[in-house]
Structures are given as structure tokens and as C-alpha cells.
Amino acid sequence: MSATYLMPTYNRQPISFTRGSGSWLYTKDDTPYLDALTGIAVCGLGHCHPQVTEAIQQQAATLVHTSNLFGIDWQERAGEALCTAAQMDSVFFANSGAEANEAALKLARLYAHKQGFKRPKVIVMEQSFHGRTLLSLSATANPKAREGFYTLDDDFIRVAFGDIDAVKQAALDHDDICAIFVEPIQGEGGLNTATNGFTYLEELQAECDAHNWLFMLDEVQTGNGRTGKYFAYQHSKARPDVLTTAKGLGNGFPVGACMVRGRANGLFGAGSHGSTYGGTPLASRVVHSVYDVLTNSDIMDNAVSEGSFIRESMVDTFGQHGVSSRGAGMMIGIVLPEDMDCSQLVDRARDEQNMIINVTGSHVIRLLPPLNMSRDESTQVVERLTALLKPSF
């Protein structure tokens, strides 16, 4: 591509799309690409879902923004819908995942402050990803993302993901912990699941309850049906005190949410947090339309069946060569042998198979297809992936 005025914060692929529909993206010359990434777990209902498009169009022609100085009917409705789906008490609407997480981490600090803590700490995980604002970045593990930014390392304790004993040890070593912040399945960090699956969340909650810490979940990526439940924690008996989400929340419209329950409810008051844009009539109506689609369809069941189909098909074919799978619903990791060179897979999938995928943690193919992918389309995902991998075995 030619000279650009954009900061080079991304290594962009040499392709761009001009149109999207369902599971497909199209280039200017109308070549279709099967999208098994959905803009990084964002367009869970597929590109330009008709009900979401209609919500955007109608609200764009009615009222876009007034600010939170005034009542916003659609924000009330979206708030009720989301809190019902998440089993939470109240919500703060932000504009991205990082902002939602910033709100959660600020809440944890306020929670500690109200108990007289001097400088509280939050337990976070190795391989975690929580965003790019300073506080959410400080909670993030990736050294490359953190380098040079003077992250607030003293405010966090990092333990191994899935290791409940490490949390118990941290509780013994520190008396200034106020919360745990964790992704139910780690997305950016390599599609990691705990060995005991979602039971890990129940163990974490038990620790939080025992020590009066806030149990905070980052469901920016795992929420909104991605794993086959509205929120991934609903696969377990755990109940978070704080729950954040974004990505699939607006199906591509930028919006995030931080929800609270019980002892975390009522911490923020007027003036203690805010956002000019957060929960505009337009964003809120989009959130409500996504909720409508998710709750009035079998899309989340579809995410379970098609996700299992893709995972099982790949393991049926390549399991004998050491390929395994992980994840839940349409959050799919295809784990390749560690010594396999995967550096060309994304480019080859695009150029040879017209399919958009991602590779994470060096040898894990990461698929985040639309939740409502048809069996014909998920069969195509399997066939194209199989053709891609065959030469390597």
C-alpha cells in the first residue's frame, strides 16, 4: 500500500474489504472471503446483520447523541436487557473493552479505598490481555505491549492462569489485595482454558469470598454468546461481582459495558466516573438489537454445535499427527504441534483458501467465526483448513 498518514500501530495484511454480509467479506472486485475471525470476535452475528443494520439506520435518522446530562431511554432499555442477560444489578456503558476494564479496575480501587486501603493490589494472570489504556495495560501480561509505558506494576500481582494454589499463596503473601481480574478463557494470550475448565472460576470466586475481594471477569471477548452461553461464566456456578464486556456487544458498533452486582453495586456515584459518549442513543439501541437477536434465536446453541463440529472435524483428521483443540462455542483453538512452522498460515489461508483466520501463541490457529454460521459454511471452514494443513503432515 502507498504512503499513509496512519501511525504504524498494526502490521496490516495486504488486503482490504469493501463489503460484508453474514460470514463473508468481499474485496473491491467482489471476491468473497470466508471470515473465521469476525474482526477479532466482534461481528458475532455476522457482518451487517439485518436487524442491527436497521437499528443503526433508524436511530441514526432519529437521534445520535445527547450526552449523559440527560435521560437516555435506549440506554435504560439496553441496561435492563444486558443486566438481565448477565444476571447483574447495574451497568456503566463505555465505548470499548479497555474502557470497560478501566472502569472495573477503578471500581476495585474505590472498593479498597472505602475500606481504608493505602495502595490496593489486584491479582491478574500470566498471558492476560485487558486492553491498552494505562491501567488496563498494566493488568495485561504481554511484555511487548507494556514496554516503555511505565506500567503500574506495583498495583498488580501476576499469577499463573488456572493455578488456584498461586492465588492462595498470594493471599498469604499480601494483605493489600482487593480483587481478582481474569478472562474465563484467555483470548489474545493464546486461547487458554484452565485445566479444570470453568470450575476454575468457582475456585476463584471462593477465594474472593473468603478474603472479601471483588471477583471481576473480563468477558470483553468471551461475552455476548461467543462461547455458547450469553456470558462464559454461565457455564459454571460462579457469579462475578464485576463483569465487563465489549467486542460482540455492538456487533461492530463500538461500545463496552462494565456491570456490577451486590457488594460492587453503588460504588460509583455522580462525578466519580463518566464518559461523554458512553451509552449514546445510537450505541444503546445497537446493544439492544444485539440482545434481541441473541435472546430470540437459537444462535448460541448454533455456536455450540458448529464450534464442536469444527473442532471435532479437525481433530478427527489431524489428531493422529498431534493436533488437538480447545476453547468453547465459536471461540476455537486448533493446537498444532509445537515444532510446526505456522508463520505463513494466516497469509496462506487468505491467498490460497480465501479464508480469514488468526494464529496466536505461535502454534495455535485461532478461529472466531460468526455464531450463526451455517453447517455448509462451517464445513467450508473445515475443508479449507484441511487443505491448508495437509501439506504439513
Ligand X SMILES: *Cc1c(COP(=O)(O)O)cnc(C)c1O
Output 99 or 203, the one with its CB closest to ligand X.
99
Q: Which of 95, 134, 69, 68 lies closest to 247, judged by CA?
A: 95
Distance in Å, CB of 285 to ligand X, minimum: 19
Pick from 35, 183, 203, 306: which binds ligand X (CB under 6 A)?
183
Kindly state the smallest distance separating residue 191's Cβ from ligand X, in Å: 11
Q: Which stretch binds ligand X (CB under 6 A): 68-76, 123-131, 200-208, 261-269?
A: 123-131
Give start and end residues of each alpha helix (H) in the chain.
Answer: 38-41, 50-60, 73-86, 97-113, 134-139, 143-146, 164-173, 199-211, 281-295, 299-318, 345-353, 375-389
- Which of 72, 98, 194, 330 touches ligand X (CB under 6 A)? 98
C-alpha cell at 36: 473465521
> Applying CB under 6 A, which of residues 96, 127, 151, 245 lies at the interface with ligand X?
96
3-state secondary structure of 94: strand
Q: Which is nearer to ligand X, 117 or 277 (CB)?
A: 277
Least distance (Å) between residue 44 CB and ligand X:
13
97 counts as binding ligand X under rule CB under 6 A:
yes
Query: Closest CB to ligand X among 52 and 125?
Result: 125
Q: Least Å distance between CB 220 and ligand X?
A: 4
Report the nearest approach of ligand X to the CB of residue 380 (Å): 26
By CB under 6 A, which span of 95-103, 264-272, 344-352, 360-368 interacts with ligand X?
95-103
Are the CB atoms for 368 and 40 separated by under 8 Å? yes
The yes or no reply on residue 187 touching ligand X (CB under 6 A) is yes
Cα separation, 372 vs 380, in Å, equals 14
Sole window of 52-60, 94-102, 174-182, 233-241 interacting with ligand X (rule: CB under 6 A): 94-102
The correct pick among 36, 220, 290, 365 for binding ligand X (CB under 6 A) is: 220
Give yes or no for a contact between 331 and 221, defined as CB atoms under 8 angstroms apart.
Answer: yes
Q: How many residues bind ligand X (CB under 6 A)?
A: 15
Alpha-carbon distance of 294 to 41, in angstroms, equals 15
Phi, psi torsion values for 213, nearest 5 degrees:
-90, 160
Q: What proportions of the chain, in percent to the nearest 5, are helix, strand and coil? A: 40, 15, 45
CB atoms within 10 A of CB 175: 9
In angstroms, the CA 327 to CA 334 distance is 9
Question: Is residue 221 at the binding interface for ligand X, with CB under 6 A as the rule?
Answer: yes
- Residue 102 in the binding site for ligand X (CB under 6 A): no
State how far the Cα of 189 lies from the Cα of 361, in Å rounded to an integer: 7
> Rounded to the nearest whole angstrom, what is the least distance from the CB of residue 181 to ligand X in the complex?
10
- What's the angle, vertex CA 81, arms to CA 216 and CA 295, rounded to 5? 100
Smallest separation, CB 28 to ligand X (Å): 27
Q: Of 130 and 384, which has the nearer Cβ to ligand X?
A: 130
Please report how close the Cβ of residue 183 comes to ligand X at its closest, in angstroms: 5
H or E element at residue 257: strand 256-260
Q: List binders of ligand X among 226-255 (CB under 6 A).
A: 246-247
Q: How far is CA 331 from the centre of its chain?
A: 10
Closer residue to ligand X in complex, CB, 247/311: 247
Point out the residue whose Cβ comes nearest to ligand X.
97
| Residue whose CB is less far from ligand X, 142 or 169 | 142
Q: Is 358 in the site for ligand X (CB under 6 A)?
A: no
d(CA 185, CA 194): 8
Judged by CB under 6 A, does residue 38 bind ligand X?
no
Kindly tell me which of 127 and 236 has the beta carbon lying closer to ligand X: 127
Is 131 among the residues that bind ligand X (CB under 6 A)?
Answer: yes
Stretch touching ligand X by CB under 6 A, among 10-18, 215-223, 265-273, 307-315: 215-223
Residues 6 or more apart in contact with residue 350 via CB below 8 angstroms: 13, 15, 33, 356
DSSP string, 198-223: THHHHHHHHHHHHHT-EEEEE-TTTT
CB 299 within 8 A of CB 225: yes
Residues that bind ligand X (CB under 6 A): 96-98, 101, 129-131, 183, 187-188, 218, 220-221, 246-247
